[in-house]
Amino acid sequence: MKVGATHLTYCTNIHAGESWTEVRENLRTHVLAVRALVTPGQPFGIGLRLSAAAAADLRHPETLAEFRSFLSEQGLYVFTINGFPYGRFHGETVKARVYQPDWTTRERCDYTRTLIDILAAVLPEGVDGSISTVPGGFRTELPRPEHAERIAAHLLEQVLTLVEVERATGRQIALALEPEPACFIETTAELVEFFRAHLFTPSARATLAARLSVTESHAEALIRRHLGICLDTCHAAVEFEAARESLACLSSAGVRIAKLQASAGLRLADVNERTLAALRAYDESVYLHQVVARTETGELLRFVDLPEAFQSPAAREAREWRVHFHVPLYRETLGAFSNTQSYLRDVLALQRRDPFTTQIEVETYTWDVLPEDQRSAGLVPSIARELAWVQERSLEERRVP
């Protein structure tokens, strides 16, 4: 579906399925059912999630040709791929394994190259593509300066591939790093600093210029064209970012916002025994739920997961908690606490006034581990409701502080 010139969809990582056979079945059932509710009979974009195993199967020419035929027959198209989770993403403990392999490894490079080839083969003419990816890796596993240098070198290698793919196919694709709490790149400001220190540099320009036989100014333009950010509104809100400041930071640095992931996390505006007791319903064993707590003095305290925050006296005395747990966008009140919907509404209002991206992807992947009361409406109707909520908020007037 479209909101003005912006493609709006949801990420299929909400559906369990690691093999291509399982992904294909999800498209035939869930995606078509969602389309029937939100835009019946109209073209519908897909936010495709492919594990490394599914991508390896799909890249075979016969399988890819079958997929292209399916898309054409059903009036579907793919404009973005979630290339963040490499391996299994549902049904077992994921936690910090979701960041592996990280961007220092050849496995991450090869997996992303496969996704690039797939997206280039199915992306409609005239539509820009994006692939969101892990923001380097898990922070504690990448402590040394040489890790940053290796990550940057591998990202420049992807730029080279993306330039070659665009020259060969005419399809423009951007690789979008997705800042997340507890990661190597945790905030919007950290992403901007990483780009300035390692990618928007004379050395990076010279390297790419030599490889592509272009001028250094052209090389820099290509880096900015093919590398950017996937701005996840849950992650940014959990970090207590302000929408206008985040966007201004990216704009001033010339960082492309390749994709906006519309998501909301948990907010405890009043930390006390009652709200903490209610929050324990979200302490589950599959995903990592990072916590950022703000004290009375404005200091931010960061915790890798809920159990660590629960055990911290300093966290329990904080004024407010925000938790990386994707919850339905349309439910601002969640019993004892709320979600971070306000940040998303601010971002959508700014997008309405001065569009900064052509892609919005709803990403509430935690359906299977949400408390039961938040799942009672059913999966497909809830996805459709989220898409409708984003569409409506994208058209409303809103004063942004």
Query: Per residue in 81-96, pLDDT tens?
Result: 999 999 999 999 999 9
Query: pLDDT tens-digit profile of 225-271?
Result: 999 999 999 999 999 999 999 999 999 999 999 999 999 999 999 99
Contact between 325 and 349 (Cβ < 8 Å): no
In a domain, 274, yes or no: no
Mean pLDDT value across residues 309-332: 96
Q: Is 353 domain-assigned?
A: yes
Does residue 331 form part of some domain?
A: no
Global pTM reads 0.97
Domain membership flag for residue 359: yes
What pLDDT sits at residue 25?
97
CATH number of the domain encompassing residue 94: 3.20.20.150
pLDDT level of residue 322 (50, 70, 90 thresholds):
very high
Contact indicator for 77, 69 with CB cutoff of 8 Å = no
Backbone torsions φ then ψ of 287, nearest 5 degrees: -110, 160
Q: Is the dihedral of CA 232, 234, 236, 237 positive or negative?
A: positive
* Residue 356 in domain: yes
Q: Is residue 385 part of a domain?
A: yes
Residue pair 138/99 in contact by the 8 Å Cβ criterion: yes
Question: Using 50, 70 and 90 to split pLDDT, how confident is the model at 50?
Answer: very high
Distance between CA atoms of 302 and 70, rounded to whole angstroms? Answer: 45
Per-residue confidence (pLDDT) for residue 397, from 0 to 100: 80
Which pLDDT tens digit goes with each residue over 11-35? Answer: 999 999 999 999 999 999 999 999 9
Contact 150, 108 (CB under 8 A): no
Domain that holds residue 207: 2-263+340-393
Query: Residue 93: its pLDDT value, please?
Result: 95
Residue 280 counted as domain residue: no
Terminal-to-terminal C-alpha distance of the chain: 29
Asked if residues 295 and 319 have their Cβ atoms less than 8 Å apart, the reply is yes
- Number of domains making up the chain: 1
Q: Is residue 64 part of a domain?
A: yes
Strand pairing report for 320-327 and 6-10: unpaired
Question: What was the pLDDT predicted at 4?
Answer: 84
